[in-house]
Structure 1
């Protein structure tokens, strides 16, 4: 269905080429300017969405335990899969992937896997038996040009936020793998050593005019294309030159220098977006604990303070019990030494009883209380003890 792809007219082709000769582009950018980049993430880890101008790519990462390759028994695997939907471009055929889809997957796979960006040995669980197989699915939602760069950024962003389940080895033979639920143990992130950034250049006019990040219309007019995959340190991970017109070595070296600068800029944007996503997700997991109660509570004008154990015991001794209040209207205990006489106490109630407890100073033991009959009148109550009349039985 290549005939469905947009083809520019002669006037449109001449207009685009003449504008590029004047260092102008159809969308108003300069030759070495990228379009506006927007990176967002989904609710689940390992899901990213990248918008590079009008190009829209969705990335999703999954992992499962598989048996490793025989030549690499202690390394995991990484695979890139692309899906071109006819909704993104009428030129894309449904079903089997076309040449553009295969080329896109190979370029991104070469930049990630061959450069050892992801630590494959950390994906090994049991050497020769169980390793993690990481799969990156890239869905093209809208083709606005330069799919390689947008898909590469989506893959890196998804890998940076992906978390694989933690697993332990146990059992009787020590070969049984136990995969823990994310709610029981926190998932583990992937070990990413560096970020290989793909930067695509388009050539016009026999390779004399070079632009970065070509649009959909510029790709239809360009004479050739080259993709350089470079990390922020300036290390060249891969170079892809897919046919077209030949390019001089001096132009290639110039493109590599430009790609190194662009790679550092894009890497900082990816890390900033990932850090923002990680911080926002961590704040949602924070549970606030209730504040501790103060030791001093103030209610209106009353201040309540904690008291010591000695004061509480003294207060408990001084406070009469309910049983004593019910049995007696008023009870008085008088402590006196062995050399002093017990002093009678007045009571307002006529039926009140008086208990006199004599404490012995030498032996330290109390004598039995002597019960005195209730006074018949107030005068009788104030009389000395030896003059009171005892109740006759």
Structure 2
């Protein structure tokens, strides 16, 4: 099985020595994130997110299906992750590694179990028809902090996506195209984001947004998921050495500041994209189509 190139002992000692002096290889402070860059595809729900050299693409799609028998009033929401071999030599197509399993679990708890998405709003006819949403997370480049990047991408894509409008008359369901009716945004109850703390020396040193090299020498990680209101959705720790509970409390307060900052960036980019589309995108096309029949030749 292919493996990522491991750091040499000298490289490990150098990174740890620098961290103990309060220095990082890229010159950032210990609590500083790399720049979060967000761009959107032409379709609703396609988002390209970059955090430094780490890059993921999130895509939301939907179809009409029958709901689960035990959840007749809910729609369906599925999260799928794919690690591309171009992102890392350690990733293979069709073979899940530990990173992919952990990422899937974290996103599942962050979005589904925290009820961030109102799945009842996806119901069309109880027990008969509902929308099934699928979120595909594609990892294109891996330079550390995949969890925070993927969660930001998923939450942004869900806010950006719009489902088709529907009309129900008895048992008859009419699904309108984007040209017939403006698509409908998803109902999001809150917007949780992940903040990952990589720690060293038993928690004496904690880094935010660790690079891949820094992740290879850490003793463990704590993932804090919360929304901008400070409501904690989950605190996850997968292995690693023990860390003091008071340190986790301190990190939770720090996470809130970062979540609020990331939320502002996401909302600003969503607003910019909405204004761009309204100016020369689908909304303008819809208005043009509606106006065209009423036009009369001048004479």
Q: Deviations over 1:136-193 (max 9, x none)?
A: 00000000101001111111111111011111123xxx21222111111111010112
Q: Deviations over 1:208-245 (max 9, x none)?
A: 21111110001111110111101000000111101011
User: CA separation in 1, counterparts of 2:77 and 2:246?
Assistant: 35
Counterpart of 2:196 in structure 1 is 200
Q: Deviations over 1:275-327 (max 9, x none)?
A: 110111011144689xxxxxxxxxxxxxxxxxxxxxxxxxxxxxxxxxxxxxx
Counterpart of 2:272 in structure 1 is 276
Counterpart of 2:151 in structure 1 is 152
Checking the alignment, whether the CA contact within 8 Å between 1:6 and 1:220 is kept in structure 2 is: no
User: CA separation in 2, counterparts of 1:198 and 1:29?
Assistant: 20
* 1:225 counterpart = 2:221: yes
Give the counterpart of 1:237 among 224, 230, 233.
Answer: 233
User: CA separation in 1, counterparts of 2:229 and 2:17?
Assistant: 36
Q: Deviations over 1:18-55 (max 9, x none)?
A: 11111111111111110111011011111000000010
Bigger helix share: 2
User: CA separation in 2, counterparts of 1:187 and 1:97?
Assistant: 35
User: CA separation in 2, counterparts of 1:163 and 1:97?
Assistant: 30
User: CA separation in 2, counterparts of 1:215 and 1:160?
Assistant: 27
Deviation at 1:12, TM superposition (A): 0.7
Kindly report the root-mean-square deviation, in angstroms, between the aligned alpha carbons of the 2 structures: 1.3
Counterpart of 2:11 in structure 1 is 12
User: CA separation in 2, counterparts of 1:237 and 1:245?
Assistant: 23
Structure 2, unpaired ranges of 5+: 292-299
Counterpart of 2:51 in structure 1 is 52
Flag the structure with more relative contact order, 1 or 2, with Cα contacts below 8 A and sequence separation at least 6.
Answer: 2
* 1:22 counterpart = 2:18: no
Counterpart of 2:85 in structure 1 is 86
Q: Deviations over 1:313-365 (max 9, x none)?
A: xxxxxxxxxxxxxxxxxxxxxxxxxxxxxxxxxxxxxxxxxxxxxxxxxxxxx
User: CA separation in 2, counterparts of 1:36 and 1:156?
Assistant: 17
Aligned residues: 285
User: CA separation in 2, counterparts of 1:238 and 1:16?
Assistant: 30
User: CA separation in 1, counterparts of 2:65 and 2:47?
Assistant: 25
Report SS of the residue matched to 2:22. coil
Checking the alignment, whether the CA contact within 8 Å between 1:138 and 1:155 is kept in structure 2 is: yes
TM-score normalized with structure 2 length: 0.92
Deviates more, 1:10-19 or 1:67-76: 67-76
Deviation at 1:99, TM superposition (A): 2.1
Report SS of the residue matched to 1:194. coil
Q: Deviations over 1:88-143 (max 9, x none)?
A: 00011221322211210110111011111111111110011111111100000000
User: CA separation in 2, counterparts of 1:166 and 1:110?
Assistant: 28
Counterpart of 1:305 in structure 2 is none
Deviation at 1:71, TM superposition (A): 2.5
Deviates more, 1:99-108 or 1:139-148: 99-108
User: CA separation in 1, counterparts of 2:144 and 2:253?
Assistant: 23
Structure 1, unpaired ranges of 5+: 290-393
* 1:213 counterpart = 2:209: yes
Counterpart of 1:75 in structure 2 is 74
Deviation at 1:206, TM superposition (A): 2.3
User: CA separation in 2, counterparts of 1:97 and 1:18?
Assistant: 34
User: CA separation in 1, counterparts of 2:210 and 2:93?
Assistant: 25
Mapping of residues 1-393 of structure 1, within 5 Å:
1=1, 4-170=3-169, 174-284=170-280, 285-286=283-284
User: CA separation in 2, counterparts of 1:6 and 1:239?
Assistant: 30
Larger Rg: 1
Report SS of the residue matched to 1:244. coil
